[in-house]
Structures are given as structure tokens and as C-alpha cells.
Amino acid sequence: MKSLFNTPTLKIDNDTFMLSKGFEVFKSMKLNSYGNDKFPDSFFKHDDIEYSLNHYAFRSEEFSTIDTSSDFLFAGCSQTFGLGLPIDATWPKKLNEMLNGKKFFNLATVSSDVTMICYNVTKYIDTFGKPKSIFILFPDFYKKIKIHNNEITTEFIFDKKKFSAEDVEENLLRDFMSIRNLEVLCDFLNIPLFYSSWQIPLVDVLMKLKEKNILKHVFDINHNHVVDSSSVNKKDAKFPHYWDVARDNEHFGEFDNLCFALRFKYEYEHYKK
């Protein structure tokens, strides 16, 4: 990796992926997501989380140009990165094991938006080749992307009341264009693509576009009744103390991650039939 990105600036060149939030904070392997030492001691109650990053600052094995056609590719935001969770509690790692994946390639990055995710997936394909299949869990659309002095800035709108109808419309249009372009690329290259979002409003919009045959590969991961979440028991947990919520008390716990993995697995197996 040629550069580290300082919060919240994103820099793009021909040799790097889109990243954010200054991944140097993970070097200590025990810091929280933003390197902030003001969290209570309870935040570090279970000292069993390591953020082991590859050359490109992804929580993944090293990427390789040697025949990637038998490997799955995962992408998403901090929920897919597994912020506040051991790697084995995350949905992409669980799904990779369920599908007998040999290597583990995950493009998820903290603080990313739909455009960043689609860019990174495209960049991966262009640099390392076609994966066997691609699985993406998109984030919400409460972010604004700005460009100033050739740098891209991600602005979070934590107060949703400040997010105007025009902001929502603009973001949804940008998200749709990014996703649609990725669909076209994957279809052209014959790469199976499966995606959804943990944000219900975004999924609702994407599903309406699918009903109109504008999008093809999205599915509703939040209202997928094929997988009965009541049948997922805590006895299945590898890390019971993170079953309900991640260490930061904000990100999904192992329960939701297991449900996400099972739902993606169903979509993949249904496609294979």
C-alpha cells in the first residue's frame, strides 16, 4: 500500500483502492475503530479481536493474480469488515466456510459507501481477475461524497433530519448508477453477483427496481423468510459474548452475521440450481 488515508480524506490513484478513516489505527490490533482511547474499559472486556490487514489494508488474505476463478469475493462497509468482532464471527468468513472457499478475499472497509464499494470491486476484477462469485452487503445512504482539490471526502449525516429529500434522491441516483454499472460488468464477464443491504429503505428501493427489471441480482436480506432466524440458536455461536451486538455496541453481533451468511448461501444455492 503506497499511502495511508487520514480521516476522512480518500485519495485515489491507479495503484490503490478507495479507503477511508486512516487504517493505521488498526496497527496496534487492539484499538477500537477510530483509535479513540475514551471508550470505557468495558469496550475492551474481551481481548480476542485482531484486525489483521493485508497489503492493501483490507481484513483479508493477500490478493493474488494467480487464478482467482475458484475464490469468492466479499465486499461491504464496516458491517462486512467486522468492526468490533473476531473475524470468524463475521458473515463473509462464515459464508466462505459454508461454501468451502479455499482463500478468503474481503474488500470491506470502514466508512465506505455504495460508490466506494462498487469502485473497489471493479478495481479488484481489473487488477486480480474474475472471482468465482461476488457477495456484497451495501450500507445505508446517509453519507455525502464531496470532491475538493482532487480528494474525495465522506461526510456522515448522523442527524437524519439534516438529510434532505434532495440529498436522499441524489444519493439513491448515484447508488443506482454504481450498482447498475457493476451488474453490467459482472454479467458481461459472467461473474455471479449477489447483493443486498442491511438498510431496509435502500433495499426497498432496489427491490422496486428489480420488479421493473431494471436491476437483476439484488435480494431482500432483511425480509427473507426462506431462512428462519428463530432456528438460529446461540449454541451455534463461536463467540457468545458477541452474539447480540459487536464490542462497540453499535455493529451487528454474530447472530445477525450468521443470518446474513445463511441468506446469502440460500441465494447462491438457488442460483446454482
For 184-219, write each residue's pLDDT tens digit. 999 999 999 999 999 988 899 999 999 999 999 999
pLDDT, mean of residues 73-95:
94
- Band of pLDDT at residue 67, cut at 50, 70 and 90: confident
* % of residues, the chain, pLDDT over 90: 48
**Model pLDDT for residues 128-165, shown as the tens digit of each residue:** 999 999 999 999 877 766 666 655 555 655 555 666 77
Dihedrals phi, psi of 142, to nearest 5 degrees: -90, 60
pLDDT for position 54: 86
pLDDT of 34 higher than 50:
no
* % of residues, the chain, pLDDT over 70: 72
| Least reliable range by pLDDT among 62-66, 235-239, 244-248 | 235-239
Mean pLDDT of the chain: 80
Closest CA to 74 of 54, 88, 60: 60
Which residue type is seen at 72?
F
Looking at the whole model, is its pTM more than 0.75? yes
What is the spatial order of strands in the sheet that 143-148 belongs to?
9-10, 151-156, 143-148
- Which residues on adjacent β-strands are paired with residue 218? 195
pLDDT of 7 higher than 50:
no
Q: Using omega within 30 degrees of 0 as the cis cutoff, is the peptide bond preceding 92 cis?
A: no
pLDDT, mean of residues 214-232:
79
3-class secondary structure, 224: coil
CA 141 – CA 126 distance, rounded (Å) = 26
pLDDT of 39 higher than 60:
no
- The C-alpha angle 179, 212, 229, rounded to 5 degrees, equals 70
CA 219 – CA 69 distance, rounded (Å) = 24
pLDDT for position 230: 64
